[in-house]
């Protein structure tokens, strides 16, 4: 399978000589390394600041561009990292308390303290503010950015607004890094290491889960992702990168005061990430470079232009950001990458080892009750969306839930998949009461689902989207992914995804961005994604909508095959011909109440159904 994707990744060849992205990256690093010794001091200083800023922007790319959470407050975390080490290295009380340690060890204690403080504060802030939706989260980040900034300026032991001076240079194994050129090697090494590790992270099971966050919680949770915990982790990661940058900054600058950690700078970091391309790791480097160069120029020019000094560049940044985003909504990196592709740069083929074995679910025997709703009622204020609905879906059957728009079908789906709890009544999945449990618990117990309004990661390939469905069948976490210790499992997850893609007739689209497919096909991608989780029960909300006749037939054949394999399928569908030909049993909802239940033949004969609203439909579609 990996050979398959590899081959496809390299197509689109032209006469231009081709060079892989990896070769280009290595070339860039070697060039930087070779030039490092001979570049003028001025350039080294600039590159050091670019490196420090890029570290922070890298965290923001993960947080904002990939995880979908906006933060204006990253500068405060840089400050935490800087102040922690500054205090440890300069405070007499610390020197007294740690008198047993050599002086050269103090910066490392400072680093440990800075990272620990940052973790604790980011965790606390994240737990409180990441629950906030919409515009509240960015506002909260402004609030904490301001608070930490004023805290730095007002704590006497941190030197107030004058700050702390006399911070010693770093030294590693007796080597002093007092020279900015020497410290710069560390800065850039850490930055490139971070890019590499995060690149690996994103290209893994854990990375797919992070990307899924951006599409909202509903979809990610249904794939088994604990979104609340994951959001906090991504937030802590971004904060740690900022604190690391602050630590390096303190030992480069050798003094700290609150100014570089204020809200302005927090906004600048966001500029870097967004202008560079907030969905792309290298966009952080591009953005940091552009903003650094621009700031240089503007700080020279603007005061001359206005005839007075001030932070005018922030105004220009704001205007420029608007202009850039008008033209390049995704930032500049994708444009640069497109140029590179045209010049013959191709992605390095994905090389994966032999797949490991994935855990397999033994399906319950045919006839087993998979999901059972007992007199489930759902009220929205005064509206009764579901009134005492009872329904069972058994292994090896297709059960259809039909009814006109607004009958309460989607509401019912939400209650039997953990999205929402019933007001009254109970839902049992494989015999277990599920009240109060999140969707991911339903997924873990064998429920796979699709959505009425398709929820895919539109820019990611079909393969990637379907592999997300197998999330719960993998175990490898962040560390394993960052250091490439997950490759056997990843190969297995992708192989499983490819199997489901082929089975659903999507093989030729495996590498297509899911959002580029017609809507009907996207629905099939959702089915493949659900199947990758090896469910015992499949919930499909209008899977045939938008499909052409032949595609509907293929879908019916697939569902029939799944039924014969022992899956239970609950389907909401408006196409009566499709439903009547496929379903073993049908439940009819009207105004939230079950008005009929039985085989397709029974339901079609039921006077209440005919009379209530289905008469016309059945006369046309069901008679066939
Ligand atoms: P269907 O999927 O059968 O078209 P729904 O389950 O979406 O129907 O809706 C059933 C009824 O419940 C509708 O009247 C709808 O307006 C209402 N409803 C659904 N969700 C909510 C909600 N979150 N808040 C208030 N009313 C809702
Ligand atoms: Mg609906």
Domain boundaries, the chain: 42-265, 363-446+535-624, 461-534
Ligand found nearest the CA of 407: 1
Q: Report the relative pairing of strands 537-541 and 447-449 from DSSP bridges.
A: parallel
Write out the two tokens for 298. 């503007």
**What is the rounded CA–CA span in Å between residue 288 and residue 460?**
26
Q: How far is CA 388 from the centre of its chain?
A: 38
Task: Considering only residues 612 and 441, tell me which one the structure prediction assigns the higher pLDDT.
Answer: 441
Per-residue model confidence (pLDDT) at position 361: 86
Q: Residue whose CA is closest, atom 10 of ligand 1?
A: 408
pLDDT at 357 over 80: yes
Nearest to 236 by CA among 135, 121, 129, 146: 121
**What is the rounded CA–CA span in Å between residue 624 and residue 622?**
5
Q: Measured in angstroms, how far is the CA atom of residue 592 from the centroid of ligand 1?
A: 9
pLDDT band at 11 (very low <50, low <70, confident <90, very high): very low
Per-residue model confidence (pLDDT) at position 510: 96
Nearest to 497 by CA among 485, 511, 483, 480: 511
Torsional sign, CA 269, 460, 543, 367: negative
pLDDT at 375 over 90: yes
Per-residue model confidence (pLDDT) at position 16: 63
The answer to whether 75 touches 69, Cβ cutoff 8 Å, is no
Q: Measured in angstroms, how far is the CA atom of residue 362 from the centroid of ligand 2?
A: 31
Q: What is the dihedral of CA 514, 533, 394, 608, to 10 degrees?
A: -20
The answer to whether 115 touches 240, Cβ cutoff 8 Å, is yes
Q: Measured in angstroms, how far is the CA atom of residue 382 from the centroid of ligand 1?
A: 12
**Helix 205-213 crosses helix 487-503 at what angle (to 10 degrees)?**
60
Integer CA distances (angstroms), 500 to 137, 466, 505, 533, in order: 38, 8, 9, 10
Task: Considering only residues 374 and 1, tell me which one the structure prediction assigns the higher pLDDT.
Answer: 374
Per-residue model confidence (pLDDT) at position 622: 43
pLDDT band at 616 (very low <50, low <70, confident <90, very high): low
**What is the rounded CA–CA span in Å between residue 213 and residue 218?**
9
Task: Considering only residues 51 and 71, tell me which one the structure prediction assigns the higher pLDDT.
Answer: 51
Tell me phi and psi for residue 40, to 5 degrees. -65, 155
Integer CA distances (angstroms), 531 to 142, 392, 449, 455, 502, in order: 42, 21, 9, 15, 12
Q: Residue whose CA is closest, atom 15 of ligand 1?
A: 406
Write out the two tokens for 357. 């074995």
Q: Residue whose CA is closest, atom 26 of ligand 1?
A: 380
Average pLDDT over residues 534-541: 95
Nearest atom in ligand 1 to the alpha carbon of residue 413 is 6
* Burial of residue 615 (number of CB atoms within 10 Å: 0-12, 13-18, 19+): middle
3-class DSSP state of 100: coil
Average pLDDT over residues 136-151: 89
Q: Map 254-269 to HEC letters.
A: CCECCHHHCHHHHHHH
pLDDT at 8 over 60: no
Q: Which helix (H) or strand (E) holds 399?
A: strand 398-402
Q: Residue whose CA is closest, atom 27 of ligand 1?
A: 380
**Helix 41-60 crosses helix 281-306 at what angle (to 10 degrees)?**
120
Task: Considering only residues 164 and 621, tell me which one the structure prediction assigns the higher pLDDT.
Answer: 164
Nearest atom in ligand 1 to the alpha carbon of residue 403 is 3
* Burial of residue 80 (number of CB atoms within 10 Å: 0-12, 13-18, 19+): buried
Per-residue model confidence (pLDDT) at position 621: 45
Q: Helices marked H in 130-179 — which ranges?
A: 136-154
Ligand found nearest the CA of 401: 1
Nearest atom in ligand 1 to the alpha carbon of residue 411 is 6
Q: Is 323 in the pocket of ligand 1 (CB under 6 A)?
A: no
Nearest atom in ligand 1 to the alpha carbon of residue 381 is 25
Nearest atom in ligand 1 to the alpha carbon of residue 378 is 12
Q: Is 404 in the pocket of ligand 1 (CB under 6 A)?
A: no
Q: Measured in angstroms, how far is the CA atom of residue 610 from the centroid of ligand 2?
A: 21
Q: Residue whose CA is closest, atom 18 of ligand 1?
A: 385
pLDDT band at 613 (very low <50, low <70, confident <90, very high): low
Q: What rounded mean pLDDT belongs to the chain?
A: 90
Average pLDDT over residues 168-177: 90
Q: Residue whose CA is closest, atom 5 of ligand 1?
A: 408
**What is the rounded CA–CA span in Å between residue 200 and residue 478?**
9
Write out the two tokens for 375. 């007199």
Ligand found nearest the CA of 408: 1
Q: Is 383 in the pocket of ligand 1 (CB under 6 A)?
A: yes
Nearest atom in ligand 1 to the alpha carbon of residue 592 is 10
The answer to whether 397 touches 585, Cβ cutoff 8 Å, is yes
pLDDT band at 220 (very low <50, low <70, confident <90, very high): very high
Per residue in 486-498, pLDDT (tens digit) is 999 999 999 999 9
pLDDT band at 317 (very low <50, low <70, confident <90, very high): confident
Per-residue model confidence (pLDDT) at position 6: 41
Q: Which helix (H) or strand (E) holds 20?
A: strand 19-20
Average pLDDT over residues 192-218: 94
Torsional sign, CA 573, 574, 578, 581: positive
pLDDT at 521 over 70: yes
pLDDT band at 302 (very low <50, low <70, confident <90, very high): confident
Nearest to 568 by CA among 369, 402, 414: 369
Ligand found nearest the CA of 386: 1
pLDDT at 323 over 90: no
Q: For 22-40, b where at least 16 C-beta lie within 10 A, e where not — what string?
A: eeebeeeeeeeeeebeeee
The answer to whether 302 touches 312, Cβ cutoff 8 Å, is yes
**What is the rounded CA–CA span in Å between residue 406 and residue 477?**
42
Q: Is 380 in the pocket of ligand 1 (CB under 6 A)?
A: yes
Ligand found nearest the CA of 415: 1
pTM score:
0.91
Per-residue model confidence (pLDDT) at position 225: 96
The answer to whether 172 touches 95, Cβ cutoff 8 Å, is no
Q: How far is CA 619 from the centre of its chain?
A: 47
Task: Considering only residues 212 and 277, tell me which one the structure prediction assigns the higher pLDDT.
Answer: 212
Q: Report the relative pairing of strands 398-402 and 585-590 from DSSP bridges.
A: parallel
pLDDT band at 5 (very low <50, low <70, confident <90, very high): very low
Per-residue model confidence (pLDDT) at position 2: 40
Just give the CATH number of 363-446+535-624.
3.40.50.300
Q: Helices marked H in 278-420 — which ranges?
A: 281-306, 313-327, 333-342, 409-415
Q: Is 409 in the pocket of ligand 1 (CB under 6 A)?
A: yes
**What is the rounded CA–CA span in Å between residue 587 and residue 596?**
6
383-394 sheet: strands from edge to edge: 383-394, 369-380, 424-429, 432-433
pLDDT at 12 over 50: no
> Which DSSP symbol is given to 568?
E
Q: Is 389 in the pocket of ligand 1 (CB under 6 A)?
A: no
Q: Is 207 in the pocket of ligand 1 (CB under 6 A)?
A: no
pLDDT band at 48 (very low <50, low <70, confident <90, very high): very high
**What is the rounded CA–CA span in Å between residue 468 and residue 465?**
5
Nearest to 249 by CA among 238, 260, 240: 260
**What is the rounded CA–CA span in Å between residue 333 and residue 339?**
10
Q: Is 408 in the pocket of ligand 1 (CB under 6 A)?
A: yes
Average pLDDT over residues 356-362: 87
Our mutation pick for probing the ligand 1 site, out of 377, 408, 571, counting the most ligand atoms within 8 A of Cβ, is 408
The answer to whether 277 touches 334, Cβ cutoff 8 Å, is yes
pLDDT band at 7 (very low <50, low <70, confident <90, very high): very low
Per residue in 468-482, pLDDT (tens digit) is 999 999 999 999 999
Per-residue model confidence (pLDDT) at position 158: 93
Per-residue model confidence (pLDDT) at position 14: 47
Per-residue model confidence (pLDDT) at position 298: 83
**What is the rounded CA–CA span in Å between residue 502 and residue 413?**
27
**What is the rounded CA–CA span in Å between residue 76 and residue 67?**
20
pLDDT band at 90 (very low <50, low <70, confident <90, very high): very high
Per-residue model confidence (pLDDT) at position 55: 98
Q: Within the chain, what is the greatest distance between any pair of CA atoms?
A: 91
Q: Is 212 in the pocket of ligand 1 (CB under 6 A)?
A: no
Q: Measured in angstroms, how far is the CA atom of residue 615 from the centroid of ligand 1?
A: 23
**What is the rounded CA–CA span in Å between residue 44 and residue 41?**
5
pLDDT at 117 over 60: yes
3-class DSSP state of 378: strand
């Amino acid at each position: 399978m990996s050979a398959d994707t590899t081959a496809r990744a390299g197509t689109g060849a032209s006469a231009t000589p081709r060079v892989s992205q990896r070769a280009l990256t290595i070339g860039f690093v070697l060039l930087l390394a070779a030039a490092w010794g001979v570049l003028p001091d001025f350039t080294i200083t600039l590159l050091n600041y670019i490196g420090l800023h890029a570290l922070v922007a890298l965290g923001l790319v993960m947080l904002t561009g990939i995880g979908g959470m906006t933060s204006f407050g990253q500068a405060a975390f840089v400050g935490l990292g800087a102040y922690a080490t500054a205090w440890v290295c300069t405070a007499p009380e610390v020197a007294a308390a740690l008198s047993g340690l050599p002086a050269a060890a103090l910066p490392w204690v400072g680093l440990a303290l800075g990272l620990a403080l940052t973790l604790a504060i980011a965790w606390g802030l994240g737990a409180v503010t990441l629950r906030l939706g919409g515009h509240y989260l960015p506002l909260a980040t402004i609030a904490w950015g301001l608070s930490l900034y004023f805290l730095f300026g007002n704590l006497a032991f941190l030197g107030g607004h004058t700050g702390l001076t006399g911070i010693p240079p770093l030294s590693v194994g007796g080597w002093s890094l007092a020279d900015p050129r020497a410290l710069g090697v560390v800065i850039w090494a850490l930055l490139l290491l971070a890019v590499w590790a995060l690149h690996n992270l994103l290209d893994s099971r854990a990375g797919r889960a992070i990307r899924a966050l951006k599409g909202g919680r509903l979809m990610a949770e249904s794939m088994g992702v604990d979104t609340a915990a994951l959001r906090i982790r991504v937030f802590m990661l971004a904060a740690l990168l900022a604190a690391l940058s602050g630590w390096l900054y303190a030992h480069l600058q050798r003094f700290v005061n609150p100014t570089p950690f204020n809200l302005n700078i927090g906004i600048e970091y966001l500029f870097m990430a967004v202008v560079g391309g907030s969905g792309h790791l290298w966009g952080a480097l591009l953005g940091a470079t552009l903003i650094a160069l621009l700031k240089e120029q503007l700080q020279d020019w603007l005061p001359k232009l206005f005839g007075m000094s001030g932070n005018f560049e922030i105004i220009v940044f704001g205007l420029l950001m608007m202009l850039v985003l008008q033209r390049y909504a995704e930032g500049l990196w994708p444009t640069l990458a497109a140029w590179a592709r045209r010049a013959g740069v191709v992605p390095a083929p994905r090389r994966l080892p032999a797949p490991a074995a994935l855990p397999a679910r033994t399906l319950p025997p045919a006839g087993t009750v998979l999901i059972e709703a007992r007199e489930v009622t759902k009220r929205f204020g005064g509206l009764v969306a579901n009134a005492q609905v009872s329904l069972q879906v058994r292994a090896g059957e297709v059960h259809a839930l039909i009814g006109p728009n607004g009958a309460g079908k989607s509401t019912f789906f939400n209650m039997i998949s953990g999205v929402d709890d019933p007001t009254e009544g109970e839902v049992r999945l494989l015999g277990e009461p599920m009240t109060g449990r999140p969707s991911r618990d339903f997924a873990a117990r064998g429920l796979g689902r699709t959505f009425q309004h398709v929820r895919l990661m539109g820019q990611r390939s079909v393969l990637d989207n379907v592999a997300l469905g197998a999330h719960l069948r993998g175990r490898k976490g962040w560390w394993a992914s960052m250091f490439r210790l997950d490759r056997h499992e990843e190969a297995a997850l992708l192989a499983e995804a490819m199997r489901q893609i082929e089975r659903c007739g999507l093989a030729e689209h495996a590498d297509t961005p899911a959002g580029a497919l017609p809507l009907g096909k996207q629905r099939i991608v959702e089915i493949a994604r659900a199947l990758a989780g090896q469910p015992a029960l499949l919930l499909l909300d209008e899977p045939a909508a938008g499909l052409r006749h032949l595609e509907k037939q293929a879908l019916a054949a697939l569902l029939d095959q799944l039924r014969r394999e022992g899956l239970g399928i609950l389907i909401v569908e408006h196409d009566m011909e499709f439903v009547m030909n496929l379903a073993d049993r049908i439940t009819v909802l009207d105004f939230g109440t079950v008005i009929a239940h039985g085989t397709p033949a029974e339901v079609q004969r039921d006077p209440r159904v005919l009379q209530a609203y289905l008469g016309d439909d059945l006369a046309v579609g069901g008679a066939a």
